[in-house]
Structure formats: C-alpha cells, structure tokens
Structure 1
Amino acid sequence: MESFVHEDFRKPWYSWSKLLNSFISRPVAFFEFLVFSSLYLSMAAAGMAWCSCTLQGIPCSVPIVLVLCLVVFSVYNLNRRTDQAEDALNHERRFSFTSRFERPLFLAALASYALAVGIALYSGSFIGCGIAMIPLFCGILYSVPIIPRGWGVRRLKEIPLVKNILVSFAWGATFALIPVALSGLAPGGASLLTFVFIFSWTFVASVLPDIRDMKGDALVGVVTIPVVLGISRSRVLLTVINLIAGAVILTLGIRTQPLASTGLLICSLAYSQGCILAIGHDHSADFLCDVISDGQFLVLGALFFVLTYAYMAFTGLAVLQ
C-alpha cells in the first residue's frame, strides 16, 4: 500500500482538496497521519480525561478535555524533535513524516501548549495552569542535556528507569489533577487512585517501545531498561509493576469507587498485561505499541462513557457540562 510519508504535500499545486482526497482514497495514509502527528494520542487523551473525571466524580467539561488533549499533542511532538537520531534508526517511516513536516508540527505544538495554558487561565485556575506545565517541565528535564560532562550521560532519558518514572509521574499527576484544579476542587482518595492507575499504565506504555527499539537504542548508545535487562526480564519487571498497581487499585477502589469502575480498571490492567506478553514475539511491534497500547484509553474511555450514562439513566444527573 502507498504510504503517506512518501507524498510531498508541500508542492504548490497540491491543493487541500487533493490532500483530503488522498486521505479518503488511502486509509493507510490517513492512519499514518493520525499516528505520526500524535493526533491519535490526543484522541486517546480524551478517553483518559473522561476516565479521570469519572473516577473522581467530576463533571467532564470541555475545558478539561481540551487542556489535556492539547498538552499531549504538544509534548509528544516537541519530544520527537529531540529524538530524531533514535527515530532515524528505529522508526524510518515516522522519521520521514516528522522530518517532512518538522516546522508545521513544531509550530502546532507551540500553539497547542499556549492554547492549553490559555484555556486553563480562562477557566480561572492558576493552579491548573501550573499543573498543565508539568509535562513540559519534565519533558525538558527528560530531553535536554543537563547532566555535567564526565558523568557518562548528559540527559535523564539516558538513565534507565529514571526516564520512565519521570514520564509516568508527569502524566499521572497531570491527568489526575487537571480535572480537580479546573473544577475548583481539592484532590482526595480518588485522585490518588487515578494517579496510581495512570502512572502504572504510562510506565508500561513507555517501556514497551523501549523493548521494540532495544537493538536500535543499543546501537546509538541509549541505555534503556530492556537494553540492561533484556526482553524476558523486562516483561517480568512490567508484570510485577502491573500486579502491584492492581493491588493498590483494588485497595483504593474499594474505598472510593463503585464496583463497576474498579472492575474496569482491573480489566485495563489485564489489557496492559496482554501487551506485555505480546511484545517481542512477533513482527507487528509498531502496531502493538503505537495503536493497541496507546489506544487503550479510547476503549476504556468509551466504557467509562457508557458506565457514566448508564448511571445518569438512574439518577438523572448531568455529567457533561
């Protein structure tokens, strides 16, 4: 099938109508556009936002969803500008796409972050504005060479485990606290549950691509958990983290959530475990990491959406404002 990355849409004669027609006539090209531009991740972020709000009993408002989706879109596109050396080796098709559209994606990322911060401020939450900056701050710590020369590494992303914990903390805190801050509420036990759940999912989701890219990372000198432990031991580590997360979620869920919500969270951990067991066994690792794993919250968000409106049918409460 023809790929989107081989088409030059910058040619003057390439009108928007032809671009749209290209997407319609070539669904693979359109899907590549969604994945490589991080729009797919932004869509998944909407599902994560809905899950976070449902778990914390907060009405899922448009500002909450927009802030989280825009931040995700921006951070991932900004990070890929700093990962070009690794991408050129590990993700030839994605590197071709991001190189071709480097300037538009960079400008879109900056505009998206500015808009996310503006929405948080417009919602009257200076705290929410600060929370929205957490992924950007962590992204800078993660990608920029801040470690003095002579230490063997220059960036936190080059230290095994540290980068995964930093990324997981950034997304766990942001998705747990943005709904609280923009709603003018204080975090509670449900916020902690949400943080643990998203932290554990992000940790797993951040190591899976490292397993996929293990050979390429080793060649360019990027030391990741799989490079140090190997595939089998990395699976064991992720399984242990999944089990610990499950125990914590069950403990907190019993105290703060309806049985159905806790059950969905456990099913989500089982979904992640399936990804853990599948990685490294076949030739579809890109699809597993970029679509199946990253798209988990599209499924979970839809399930929480159904659960929410089923609850509304019995209570008559308004959830989306």
Structure 2
Amino acid sequence: MQDTIDPPSELSGGTDSPHRSEPPASTRSPSDSSVTSNNSPAASNDSSTRPSADGRRLATAFAWGSPFTALVAAVETLIATVLLGVSPTVAPAVVALVTFAVYSVDHVADADTDAASTPNRALVARRYGDQLMIAAALAYGLAVAVAVTGGPLALALTLLPGAFWVVYASDWLPDLGRAVGAALASITPDDRIAGRVGATVTDGGRSYVPRLKDVLVVNSVVVAAGWATALTFLPIAFAGSSAGPTVPVVFAYFLLRSFVDAELPNVRDVEADAAVGVATLPVVFGVARTRWVLYGVDLLAAGIVTAAAVAGLLAWPLVGALGVGIAASVCITALAGRIDDASVLGIAPDCSYLVVGVAIAGVTLVG
C-alpha cells in the first residue's frame, strides 16, 4: 500500500484548488463585478452547476483516497491468507478498517503540505477534517474491538500500524527533540552545545530528531515494514495458527512490494517533497535512478517467490499469480517520469494487487 493521489488529472482543475483564487470583493474593479454580475445568464448557470460539480469532484477524490486504499489492503490480506495456507478470518476487515483510519488521519495531518501535489485530496481533508477524524477514530475503535476477540497477538498487531504512524508521520519525535533540546540548553554552560540546541529548538527539533517520514529510505521502509507485519501476521493470529515456513517468504514479498508502492508516488511529489525537506529517492537521486532501484527491488521479490516455489514452499500457480503483479509493478515503474499524468503513479501500484487478487482467485477456483 502507499499514499494515494487524487484521481486522474481532469479533477484537479476545480475552482477550489489552492493554486487558483479570486481577489476579494473589495479589491475588484467595477468592470470585474459587471462581468460576474449575478444577473448575467453565465453567472446564473455557473452558480447552479458549480456546487454539484464540486461535490462530485470532492466525492471522487475521497473515494480514491482512504476508502480505495482500505479496499486494496483487504485484498492484500486475502492474498496473504491464501499464501500462508490458513483458514479465512476477519483479518481482511480489520486491516481495511485500520488502513482507512491511518490514511484518513495522515491526509488530514498533511493537508497543507499535500496541497501542491494532491489539491483535491487536500481540499477534502481541510473541509471535512473533523468528520474524517471522527470516522477514523470509529474505524480504528471497531478494528480494535474485533481484534480483542482474536486474542492478545491480534490486538497488538492491530495497534501496530497506528503506533508506526505516530512515530513515522506525527510530530511526536520532533516535539520530543525540541523538549530535550530545551532542557539541555537550560542546564549546559557549553556555548557550542547550546548553539546546536538552539538551532534544534528554533526549527521545531527537526535538525537532529526529524519525523521518520522526512528521512531518506527510512520513511518507505517504516511504511513497508508496518504493513508487511500486519498483512502477514494478522491472518495467522486470527486463525490461531502457528508460523510456518512460508511466513518469511510472504513477509519479504509484502515488504519489498510495499517499499516500491511507497516510493513510486514520491516521483509525483518530488517538487513538493523537496520544498518541505522530505528526503525521498527521487529527490536525492533523481527519477531515472529511482526507476532502476525500484526495478531491482521488484526483481528481488520475484527471485524470493521463485526460490520459494523451487523449495516447495509455494505452489507454482500461486507464484505465477504473484508474478503477474510484479510484472505490472515493473511496467508501472517504467512510467515514472515519462508520463504527463502523474496521478497514474498514485493509483496504479495499488491496482496491481487487485490484479493479483483476481489471478489468485482464479487459481484457487481451478484448484
């Protein structure tokens, strides 16, 4: 899973975009007001159609955000359930609820910085932030309530993505760094240390204790590890099964695939990330080199599942289904920096799991 983008580009040109604004009424000239008079047919038609158009645009942006990511997470959990050979459980529903909650909170928290790269999603987060936070709290609360029925391990794994988000994207670490810096500055007589602490305090503590979301590679690894852990071990916890030899293979598959999914949208966000100091592969190494790194990660995932099939840990038809998703990922990665509509890089990686889900369903039905 990864942080999704607004739906295709035709939706990004709405009047609510932060990059398009009208001057206040007091600064408009008489000629401006005459052109936009409420008595004119054009203005009348615009006022009657704009609300519905804006509503559809925002609804579409919302649907392609947290709800779509939650759907993909449920499919990924079903894939993991089949690969692990455990009985079906409520794990997909729990992962979907947690995913919806985590990404909804993340979108609200980062609405200002997301405005340049995902204006529609940022607008939804700004306008309906309170409602989204309530929905996120209810979703996570329901997930925890269901997880309690699965035992302590299921509960711990359900809480894990939320804990990862706190460390990864919130200001908890920077705030801690600022507090520690202020404490050191108040007790040390060393001008050199005090000077460094002062710099840390004035920039919110991020010089020495940044958000993990701002740290090169660590940001994507944390996201990938959090989701790979939940996807792999929640089905086992709810099924009450023991960890088998396929567990490391499934974990490695989702870890590597999730890393690619986390980095691909960063190609779209390269200018916005650079502006706010977020270090990603495209920002540091450029888009072309990032493509080759992600090719390598996908090929490593292909090698691992192939080796698992050779060792008899996974059936070849299942490996073939996973290979379809990896091939799709490589094709999507090849588009990075080469297409005008960068929204594809936000949606297509998740869609590859839907393809894998269909392929595995077909393999399972055929037997």
Which TM-score bucket, shorter chain as reference?
A: 0.7 to 0.9
Residue type at the aligned position of 2:297 = I
Match of 1:207 in 2: 263
1:223 positional shift: 1.8
1:48 corresponds to which of 76, 95, 104: 76
TM-score, structure 2 normalization: 0.74
Return the alpha-carbon distance in structure 2 between the equivalents of residues 129 and 153 of structure 1. 30
Offset from partner CA, 1:255-279 (integer Å, 9 cap, x none): 2111100111122111111111111
Match of 2:303 in 1: 247
Match of 1:107 in 2: 134
Match of 1:87 in 2: 114
1:198 positional shift: 1.1
User: What does 1:146-225 align with in structure 2 at a 5 Å threshold?
Assistant: 146-147=173-174, 148-149=177-178, 150=200, 151-152=207-208, 154-225=210-281
Return the alpha-carbon distance in structure 2 between the equivalents of residues 117 and 232 of structure 1. 42
Match of 1:35 in 2: 64
RMSD: 2.2
Are 1:5 and 1:97, in contact at CA under 8 Å, matched by a contact in 2? no
Moved over 4 A (4+): 1-7, 26-30
Residues 5 and 74 of structure 1: CA distance in aligned 2, closer, same or farther (over 3 Å):
farther
**Per the alignment, in what secondary structure is the counterpart of residue 291 of structure 2?**
helix
Return the alpha-carbon distance in structure 2 between the equivalents of residues 159 and 229 of structure 1. 14
Are 1:43 and 1:69, in contact at CA under 8 Å, matched by a contact in 2? yes
Are 2:114 and 2:122, in contact at CA under 8 Å, matched by a contact in 1? yes
Are 1:180 and 1:187, in contact at CA under 8 Å, matched by a contact in 2? yes
Match of 2:321 in 1: 264
Residue type at the aligned position of 1:163 = N
Offset from partner CA, 1:235-268 (integer Å, 9 cap, x none): 1111111112221121123321111001111221
Residues 30 and 89 of structure 1: CA distance in aligned 2, closer, same or farther (over 3 Å):
closer
1:213 positional shift: 0.5
1:130 positional shift: 0.3
1:93 positional shift: 1.4
**Per the alignment, in what secondary structure is the counterpart of residue 97 of structure 2?**
helix
Match of 1:125 in 2: 151
1:4 positional shift: 11
1:154 positional shift: 2.1
1:141 aligns with 2:167: yes
**Per the alignment, in what secondary structure is the counterpart of residue 284 of structure 1?**
coil
1:59 positional shift: 2.2
1:303 aligns with 2:359: yes
Offset from partner CA, 1:169-216 (integer Å, 9 cap, x none): 000010000000000011222222211111111101110111111011
1:306 positional shift: 2.1
Are 2:12 and 2:119, in contact at CA under 8 Å, matched by a contact in 1? no
1:153 positional shift: 5.2
Are 1:168 and 1:199, in contact at CA under 8 Å, matched by a contact in 2? yes
1:53 positional shift: 0.7
Are 1:117 and 1:129, in contact at CA under 8 Å, matched by a contact in 2? yes
Residues 310 and 27 of structure 1: CA distance in aligned 2, closer, same or farther (over 3 Å):
farther
1:139 positional shift: 0.6
Residue type at the aligned position of 2:323 = I
Are 1:189 and 1:252, in contact at CA under 8 Å, matched by a contact in 2? no
Residue type at the aligned position of 1:51 = I
Return the alpha-carbon distance in structure 2 between the equivalents of residues 137 and 4 of structure 1. 36
Match of 2:334 in 1: 277
Residues 100 and 245 of structure 1: CA distance in aligned 2, closer, same or farther (over 3 Å):
same
Match of 1:116 in 2: 143
TM-score, structure 1 normalization: 0.84
**Per the alignment, in what secondary structure is the counterpart of residue 40 of structure 1?**
helix
**Per the alignment, in what secondary structure is the counterpart of residue 265 of structure 1?**
helix
Residue type at the aligned position of 1:198 = F
1:3 positional shift: 7.9
1:33 positional shift: 3.0
Q: Identity rate of aligned residues, in percent? A: 26
Residues 5 and 129 of structure 1: CA distance in aligned 2, closer, same or farther (over 3 Å):
farther
- Higher radius of gyration, 1 or 2: 2
Match of 2:188 in 1: none
Offset from partner CA, 1:6-43 (integer Å, 9 cap, x none): 79xxxxxxxxxxxxxx69xx97665433113x111111
Are 2:74 and 2:96, in contact at CA under 8 Å, matched by a contact in 1? yes
Return the alpha-carbon distance in structure 1 between the equivalents of residues 272 and 15 of structure 2. 23
